[in-house]
Amino acid sequence: MSKKIEKLFKSYRDQLLHLAKLYGIVEVKSYAKSSKRLTISQLELLLIKNRIKLPVNRSSDKAMAKQELKENSIRNVYLSIAFIFFLGCMITMRPYIKNVVNEVKFSYVAEEYKTAKLDKPKKNKKKEKVKEQEKVVTQYENTVSLNAETTINLFEDLDYDLKGVRAGQKVKPIYLTKLPKDLKTLGDTGKKRELFIKILLPLILDENEKISRDREKLFKILAKNFNSIGERVWLKRRFKEYKIEDKDLGKLKMRMDIIPVSIAIAQAANESGWGTSRFALEGNALFGQWTWSKKGISPKKADPNQSHKILQFQILKASVRAYKNNLNTHNAYQEFREARAKLRQSGGDVINGLELTKYLKNYAAIGEKYVRILEDIIEKNSLTDFDKAILLPTKMKKGIAL
C-alpha cells in the first residue's frame, strides 16, 4: 500500500498528509481547520504517535533539508518584518518616551523636596484647639520657603541651568511660592543673580504662555463672521480683565500681549534688590507696586506726604500676574503698548526687551534715569537671551509649586 501512495504523490509531505487523512488523525484535522501549516517533522511525529508506519521510500535528506530551509526562511522573513516594525515604532516613540521620563523625574524630585520640607517634625507637638469660626484654608496656606542652597540643589537635580536655556533648552515648569529667606547670604555675586533669574523665569513664562493662548483665541474669533454665545461671553470677560469699558477690539489686541522676559526680570531685580528686599521676602512683592489698602507693607522710612504702601501677595506668581496686568492696562504705559504693537506688526515673533525699555520711564519717579538702570541690568546680565525662552510642555496642569 505504501508503494501505491508513493506513486500517487510526488512530495513526501503529501504522502504524510494522505496517510493522516486516511487514518483519520484528529490532531491533523484540527490543525487543518485552523489553517495552520504542519511541518514534515510534526506530521511524522503525529503518525508515529498514532502507530502508523511511515512511507518506506522517504525523500532524501537533501530534499527534506531543502523543504525545512524553505519553511524556516518564510518564518524568518515574517519575524524580520515584525522586528523592523517594532524598531520603527520605538524610534518614533523615543521623543515621547524621553519627555515622559523627564517629566516623571522632574515631578518626583520636586515633590521629594516639597515633602521633605513640609514633613519636618515640629518642636511643639501639642494640638491647637480648633476655633469654631476658623477661616477657610486657602490653597496657598502651606507654601514653602526653601533656603538658597536647597533651591540650588533642587535646580541641579532637575538639570535646570541658565547656560542650557540660553542655548535653547526649555525651562522646567517649577514655581517657587516664596523666595529663599537667606538669598542675601549668597552676597552680591553672580550666584545670587543666577538663582534669582532661575526662580523668576518659569513664573514669567507661565504668564506669557497664558496671554499667548488667549491672543491666539482672540484672533481666531475675530476671523469669524459669526461668533457663538460662548465666544461672546469669553470676549466680555477679556474686556473686563483688560479694563476696556468701550469694548474696543483694537484696544484689546494691543493690550493682550506678552511682557518681554528681559524687561520683567530687570524690573524685578531693580525693585526687589535681586530678591533680597524686605518687601520681596515678607510680601512676595517683586515689582514694588503701590497700594493704598490696608493689606500693603508700609515702608520703614515713609514720606509723610505720601500714604501709599507696597502691595503684598500670597505667592510669587500672583506678584508676576499683577505686574503683567499693570503694564497691560494702566494708562501710564499706553506708549509702551503702542511700541510693542508696532514691533508685532513688523513681523517679529520674539520681542526684544531693549527696544521697549525707553517707554517705561513712567514706572518710577526718576524717569529717564530709571530707563538707563533697566538697560544696564539687561545688558550686563544678557537678559535678552531669555526673550526667546520657552516653557517645557507638561501634562501637569500647574507644574510643581514649592
CA distance 331 to 326: 9
**What does the block give as the cell for 98?**
524621553
Q: Of 9-18, 248-257, 348-357, which gets the smallest average pLDDT?
A: 9-18
Mean pLDDT score across all residues of the chain: 80
Region 394-401: mean pLDDT is 60
For residue 74, the model assigns a pLDDT of 80
Residue 386 Cα to chain centre, angstroms: 17
- 257 sits in the region (left: phi over 0; alpha: psi -120 to 50; else beta) called beta
For residue 374, the model assigns a pLDDT of 96
CA distance 177 to 389: 21
Region 245-272: mean pLDDT is 95
- Whole-angstrom Cα Rg for the chain: 36
Residue 13 Cα to chain centre, angstroms: 62
Q: Of 21-35, 174-188, 352-366, which gets the smallest average pLDDT?
A: 21-35
The CATH number of the domain covering residues in 148-401: 1.10.530.10
Inform me whether the pLDDT recorded for 359 exceeds 80. Answer: yes
For residue 142, the model assigns a pLDDT of 43
**Banded model confidence at residue 304, pLDDT cuts 50, 70, 90:** low
CA distance 154 to 400: 12
According to the 3-state scheme, what is the secondary structure of the chain? CHHHHHHHCCCHHHHHHHHHHHCCCHHHHHHHHCCCCCCHHHHHHHHHHCCCCCCCCCCCHHHHHHHHHHHHHHHHHHHHHHHHHHHHHHHHHHHHHHHHHHHHHHHHHHHHHHHHHHCCCCCCCCCCCCCCCCCCCCCCCCCCCCCHHHHHHHHHHCCCCHHHHHCCCCECCEECCCCCCCHHHHCCCHHHHHHHHHHHHHHHHHHHHHHHHHHHHHHHHHCCCCCCHHHHHHHHHHHHHCCCCCCCHHHHHHHCCCCCHHHHHHHHHHHHCCCCCHHHHHHCCCCCCEECCCCCECCCCCCCCCCCEECCCCCHHHHHHHHHHHHHHCHHHHHHHHHHHHHHHCCCCCCCHHHCHHHHHHHCCCCHHHHHHHHHHHHHCCHHHHHHCCECCCCCCCCEEC
Beta bridge partners of 391: 171
Q: How distant, in Å, are the alpha carbons of 78, 217, 337 from that of 224?
A: 53, 11, 26
Inform me whether the pLDDT recorded for 258 exceeds 50. Answer: yes
Q: What are phi and psi of 401, to 5 degrees?
A: -105, 130
More confident residue, 271 or 62: 271
Of the CA atoms within 13 Å of residue 25, those in its CB half-sphere come to: 22
Q: Of 45-49, 122-126, 243-247, 338-342, which gets the smallest average pLDDT?
A: 122-126
Inform me whether the pLDDT recorded for 128 exceeds 80. Answer: no
For residue 137, the model assigns a pLDDT of 28
Q: What are phi and psi of 97, to 5 degrees?
A: -60, -40
Domain ranges for the chain, please list them.
2-59, 148-401
Tell me the per-residue pLDDT of 145-202, one tens digit each, with 9 for 90 and over: 688 899 999 999 989 999 999 999 999 998 899 999 988 888 778 899 999 999 999 9
Q: Of 65-74, 220-229, 345-354, 381-390, which gets the smallest average pLDDT?
A: 65-74
More confident residue, 38 or 282: 282
More confident residue, 116 or 13: 13
For residue 130, the model assigns a pLDDT of 34
For residue 141, the model assigns a pLDDT of 37
